[in-house]
C-alpha cells in the first residue's frame, strides 16, 4: 500500500508538472501569437497611411511639374512676375488695390 501511495503521488506530481508546463507553454505561445497579430495590424495601418501620403505627394508632384511647365513659358513667367512681385513693363505704373474683406 505504501508503494501504491508513492506511485500515485509520483504520478500526480508528474501530471501536475506536465499540466503546469503545458499551461505555461500555451500561454507563452498565445501571448506571442497575439503580439504578432497586433504587429501585423499595426503594419497594415502604417502601410495604409504611407499609401495615402504617397498619393498626396504624387498629386503635389504633378502640381509642381505643371507649375514648372508653366514657368517655362516666357509670357506666363512675365505675367506671374508682374502679379506676384509687382514688376512692371517700361512706362507701366503699378497700383495695388486692396482686396475687400469678405466678412463685411
pLDDT tens string, the chain, 104 residues long: the values are 677 888 888 899 999 999 999 999 999 999 999 999 999 999 999 999 999 999 999 999 999 999 999 989 988 888 888 778 777 777 777 777 777 765 65
Q: Which helix (H) or strand (E) holds 7?
A: helix 2-71
What pLDDT, on the 0 to 100 scale, is given for residue 31?
A: 98
pLDDT, residue 102, reads: 57
Q: Where are the domains of the chain?
A: 2-85
Q: Whole-angstrom Cα distance, residue 74 to residue 66?
A: 15
Cβ atoms 86, 94 nearer than 8 A: yes
Q: Are 80 and 71 in contact (CB under 8 A)?
A: yes
User: pTM here?
Assistant: 0.56
Instruction: Report the run of H or E that residue 92 belongs to, with start and end.
Output: none
Four-CA torsion 56, 59, 64, 67, nearest 10 degrees: -140
- Are 88 and 94 contacting, i.e. CB atoms less than 8 angstroms apart? yes
Amino acid at each position: 500500500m505504501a508503494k501504491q501511495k508513492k506511485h500515485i503521488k509520483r504520478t500526480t506530481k508528474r501530471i501536475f508538472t506536465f499540466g503546469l508546463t503545458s499551461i505555461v507553454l500555451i500561454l507563452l505561445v498565445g501571448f506571442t501569437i497575439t503580439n504578432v497579430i497586433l504587429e501585423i495590424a499595426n503594419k497594415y495601418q502604417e502601410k495604409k497611411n504611407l499609401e495615402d501620403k504617397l498619393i498626396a505627394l504624387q498629386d503635389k508632384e504633378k502640381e509642381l511639374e505643371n507649375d514648372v511647365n508653366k514657368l517655362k513659358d516666357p509670357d506666363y513667367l512675365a505675367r506671374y512676375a508682374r502679379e506676384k512681385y509687382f514688376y512692371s513693363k517700361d512706362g507701366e505704373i503699378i497700383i495695388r488695390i486692396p482686396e475687400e474683406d469678405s466678412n463685411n
